[in-house]
Amino acid sequence: MIAFFYISAAVALISSVLAISRANAVHALLYAIVSLLSVALVLFVLGAPFAAALEVIIYAGAIMVLFVFVVMMINSGPEATKQERLWINLRIWIGPSVLTAILTVELLYIMLLLPSHSVGHPDVGPKAVGVALLGPYVLGVELSSLLLMAGLVGAYHLGKHEEKRTGTS
């Protein structure tokens, strides 16, 4: 069972190191997504499937989409299309694809070939997490919603009147 942990931990470390050492931001984002997916598999093996699902949905889904949006906005321009043509290059996709294939094979092996309670069966299920989250931690939930509201307002304010600012300066 610990082999699953080792495999996904190795993938997480390799992809994180590759993510921070790429020169190109889009290549780094590819490796960062692989890193987040492998950490999600580590969480699954550690017995927290709910946290693993949240990791995939929010980290690898929402937050990385924000990064991709910003990189694409910064790179917009005539020279970006030339760069875009360079990025559509199969050689770049080999590294993230191999790492993701390792994770996929591992997940399929756990899901299909092992008995269902041998790996990833939670000691603490999502129900216990939900009960504790809305019980003793309900103040934290309220504070989180305030923080998200502040983040929303801040991002909206910072991203808003761009033309006026550049027009006056």
Partner 1 sequence: MTNIPADYGLFLAALLFAVGFVGVLARRNIIFILLSIEIMLNAAGLAFIAAGSQWGQPDGQIMFIFILVTAAAEVSVGLALVLQLFHHIQTVDSDAANSMRG
Q: Please, what is the minimum distance in Å from the beta carbon of residue 13 to partner 1?
A: 6
Q: Rounded CA gap, 15 and 97, in Å?
A: 11
Q: C-alpha angle 85/22/58, rounded to 5°?
A: 90
Nearest CB to partner 1, comparing residues 54 and 92: 54
Cα separation values, 14 from 17, 21, 28, 99, 110, Å = 5, 11, 12, 9, 22
Q: Please, what is the minimum distance in Å from the beta carbon of residue 80 to partner 1?
A: 14
Tell the residue number behind the tokens 């492998």, with chain if given. 38
Q: CB–CB of 107/41 below 8 Å?
A: yes
Q: Please, what is the minimum distance in Å from the beta carbon of residue 78 to partner 1?
A: 15
Nearest CB to partner 1, comparing residues 74 and 101: 74
| Residues at the contact surface with partner 1, assessed by CB under 8 A | 1-2, 5, 9, 12-13, 16-17, 19-20, 25, 28-29, 32, 35-36, 39, 42-43, 45-48, 50-51, 54-55, 58-59, 62-63, 66-67, 69-71, 73-74, 117-119, 121, 123-124, 128-129, 131-133, 137, 140, 144, 147-148, 150-152, 154-155, 158-159, 162, 165-166, 169
Nearest CB to partner 1, comparing residues 105 and 152: 152
Q: What is the 8-class DSSP label of residue 116?
A: T
Spatial CA neighbour of 45 closest among 141, 89, 92, 109 = 109
Nearest CB to partner 1, comparing residues 94 and 152: 152
Cα separation values, 160 from 41, 95, 128, 134, 164, Å = 38, 38, 41, 35, 9
Nearest CB to partner 1, comparing residues 90 and 129: 129
